[in-house]
Structure 1
Amino acid sequence: MKTTRILTAREAAELINDDDVISVSSSSGLGCPDAVLAGIGERFTETAAPRNLTTIHPIAAGDMWGIKGIDHLARPGLLARIIAGSLPSGPSSSEPPLIWQMIENEQIHAYNFPSGVLYQMHRAAAARQPGVFTQVGLDTFIDPRQEAGRMNGSTPRDIVELTELKGREWLFFEAQVPDVAIIRATTADEDGNLTFEEEASPLGALDLAYAAHNNGGIVIAQVKRIAQAGSLDPQKVRVPGILVDAVVVAPDQLQTTQTPYDPAISGQLRRPLSTLEPVGFSLEKITARRAAQELQSGETANLGFGVSALVPHILVEEKLGNEVSWVIEQGAVGGVPLLDFVFGVAQNPDAIMPSIDQFTLLQGGGFQHSLLSFMEIDVQGNVNVHSLPRRRHVTAGVGGFADITSSAPSIIFLGAFTAGRRDIRIEDGRLNIVSDGPFTKFVNKVNSTTFSGQRALANGQDVMYVTERAVLKLAPEGLTVTEIAPGVDLEKDVLGKADFALNVSAELRLMDARLFEPAPLGLKLPGLAPHHRLQQLDS
């Protein structure tokens, strides 16, 4: 039987050579093997080695809440290239994370690719396939006709290419072969078998391990504890010991950035929904409430970070918390996705899938709605969520956004109509815009395209934009205002706050007045029509 060594983080760092490609399994602070990454940084401080590493992160490693993640490696000489689905974001009031400083100072080659595609690139590498053909990312900044996913000017266009197959356009992403995979679990036995009982998701641990192992590389696993050989339930082993070369024990590893261990997000406990904190009355809550009115009982829906993450909590408040099954890219199915920088986990999930398998559902459009946030929208309905001029470090990157929007039947974007300091009050069931934000989010051309409105129209996708003051729909003739909030002046507060001409529906109506009152809506979700094959059976 293969021997798995138990090492300190500093000892594990000695296994890494100059010029290695290192793949890291994490999602911000969720599942982050922070102790191992810190060990690599410690070795470099002491010895100036290893040098010129490439790191691959399907989702971000580390965030702004104290889990340093990639910032342990963000040092000139140590890190030469990063390929990431997303990156740690940082508050705009402080210094950017070190990795963002390196990117913006052109000290590193940096790519931002869709998270689901990055997982598939690992699976391709594991199977000795050349790469991934996909339509995810076409007509966005990922497309070589635009930015090829590059995050600065010095980065070459050498990983993604445009190709044609059977009369259709595809993006081809070259498989990336890791020399080292760094993953995290809860328990390792003495043979290296890994279980994930306290993890909120296994993320992509298995596929990263396969990719390294099958190509002659090594796998380092960070765990909370060691168990006796043969004592783990084989049905619960997610990564077999035959793949694991070294184990680092970090008994204090956090379950997420803010929770040492919560059994309700890793499946050992179902907590009453009444224990969730209520959502305070705000403009963001109004926006989330309006989006919730688009849902039906029995649907499966996806959502992203930001305002959209409030929607499941609106349903809980309306006593409808179990009416919609939520799926998020980190792997949770069902339950109630949590908020803010614990986003990526769900309380009371029905299932926890590996991320790559969740992305199979999402890329294939196997759900009814996706609810996502936005930063900018332009005249063609394009959306930018990944790139703010002069403040890129406060954004995370594309993440799973492009995977999700590529085939989602219905997409509801949520956000504020304007940005910057503003004074908008909710008074007597009406909006009172005392002073508006100085920056519109409806611009002639987005800074960078994360979502293509024209491709969505060509694909027959239904696209809606929900703000605190207006609801808009994407149509072939352009963006059309279909609803406005009570108290809002259409010309001054909506049409006059966009950089381009908005169309106005002939059936323009007021948003539901109940949205602007603190009391619950009394929301009723219509039932989802049965699948057409079930209708045939019933008939």
Structure 2
Amino acid sequence: MHAMLSKLVTHEQAVEHVQDGTRLMYGGFGTIGSPAHMIDAILHKGVQSLTLIGIDAGYPEIGIGKLISHGRVRRLITTHIGSNPEAGQQMMDGMLEVTFCPQGIFAEKIRAGGVGIPGIVVDAHVRGERMEGAEPFAFAGRTCQIEAALTAEVGIVYAKQADTYGNLIYDKAARNLNPLVAMAADITIVEVEEIVPAGELDPDKIVTPGIFVDYIVVRGGGNS
């Protein structure tokens, strides 16, 4: 019987999976639920031309906003950038390509990507614009269009607790988009406050099953 390979790695080991041009999805809303140390490790590595997928652009020098402010991002798929004036300026200057999406549709596109559905049906009037290649059609008395699901090569999420298998428990609002991101990436890296042996977590409190988690890093736990 072979022992299970450990998912616990350092931030430096985890960030090896993020390269120039990586399509990177992230959890968090502002600073709540943001994998801050993983973001710092990505910034320190110096990768360029990233495509970011997340609910907001963070703040200029906090969280995911650092990558934008330091010119590491080529494209951003998000719901708003109002909290990061630097993102707005780069968009106006043509340095940053930004694709906006309403938050509900955005979350559903990521959920669809995580469960293997290629696209979702949305009300074209709610969307407010016709996406490239999305032809409108009549459905249930509405004008609708199909939008492609969202997936990523790498997803970085934040959780309060993990066991060694990668089962995750989140803390209140820090749950936000993290469970969906964990499902929708080819490689999922979770940054946690605490890691415990497998079997220690209350099964009723586990939100993300460990099958979705590839690597675990501990925030401030001496492995970064």
Give yes or no for TM over 0.5.
yes
For 1:237-386, list aligned pairs within 5 A.
237-251=206-220
Q: Say whether 1:189 aligns with 2:163.
A: yes
2:147 is paired with a residue of what secondary structure? strand
Give, as a single letter, the amino acid of the residue that structure 2 aligns with 1:63: Y
1:185 is paired with a residue of what secondary structure? strand
Give, as a single letter, the amino acid of the residue that structure 1 aligns with 2:207: R
CA displacement at 1:86 relative to structure 2: 2.0
Give, as a single letter, the amino acid of the residue that structure 2 aligns with 1:56: I
* Per-residue Cα deviation, 1:473-495 (whole angstroms, up to 9, x for no partner): xxxxxxxxxxxxxxxxxxxxxxx
Give, as a single letter, the amino acid of the residue that structure 2 aligns with 1:28: G
CA displacement at 1:139 relative to structure 2: 6.5
CA displacement at 1:227 relative to structure 2: 1.3
Cα distance in 1 for partners of 2:142, 2:94 equals 35
Cα distance in 1 for partners of 2:28, 2:79 equals 11
Cα distance in 2 for partners of 1:237, 1:61 equals 28
Q: Say whether 1:143 aligns with 2:122.
A: no
RMSD: 2.4
> 2:77 maps to which residue?
83
CA contact (8 A) 1:143 1:162 kept: no
CA contact (8 A) 2:57 2:83 kept: no
CA displacement at 1:8 relative to structure 2: 3.0
Unpaired runs of at least 5, structure 2: none
Give, as a single letter, the amino acid of the residue that structure 2 aligns with 1:53: L
Change (3 A) 1:61 1:248: farther
* Per-residue Cα deviation, 1:345-385 (whole angstroms, up to 9, x for no partner): xxxxxxxxxxxxxxxxxxxxxxxxxxxxxxxxxxxxxxxxx
1:128 to 92, 99, 116: 116
2:193 to 195, 200, 224: 224
> 2:25 maps to which residue?
23
Cα distance in 2 for partners of 1:110, 1:61 equals 10
1:234 to 203, 207, 213: 203
Change (3 A) 1:7 1:172: same
Change (3 A) 1:22 1:5: same
Change (3 A) 1:80 1:4: farther
Cα distance in 1 for partners of 2:57, 2:33 equals 9
1:171 is paired with a residue of what secondary structure? strand
CA displacement at 1:107 relative to structure 2: 0.7
- Number of matched pairs: 217
Q: Find the structure with the greater CA-based Rg.
A: 1
Give, as a single letter, the amino acid of the residue that structure 2 aligns with 1:248: V
2:180 to 199, 204, 207: 207
1:36 to 38, 51, 66: 38
Cα distance in 2 for partners of 1:87, 1:188 equals 31
> 1:173 maps to which residue?
147
Cα distance in 1 for partners of 2:125, 2:159 equals 35
Change (3 A) 1:19 1:228: same
For 1:36-115, list aligned pairs within 5 A.
36-44=38-46, 49=47, 51-57=48-54, 59-63=55-59, 68-74=62-68, 75-76=70-71, 78-87=72-81, 89=83, 96=85, 98-115=86-103
2:9 to 1, 7, 10: 7
2:24 is paired with a residue of what secondary structure? strand
CA displacement at 1:175 relative to structure 2: 1.4
* Per-residue Cα deviation, 1:278-328 (whole angstroms, up to 9, x for no partner): xxxxxxxxxxxxxxxxxxxxxxxxxxxxxxxxxxxxxxxxxxxxxxxxxxx
The alignment's TM-score, normalised by the length of structure 1, stands at 0.38
2:64 is paired with a residue of what secondary structure? helix
Aligned-residue identity in percent: 27
Change (3 A) 1:220 1:88: farther
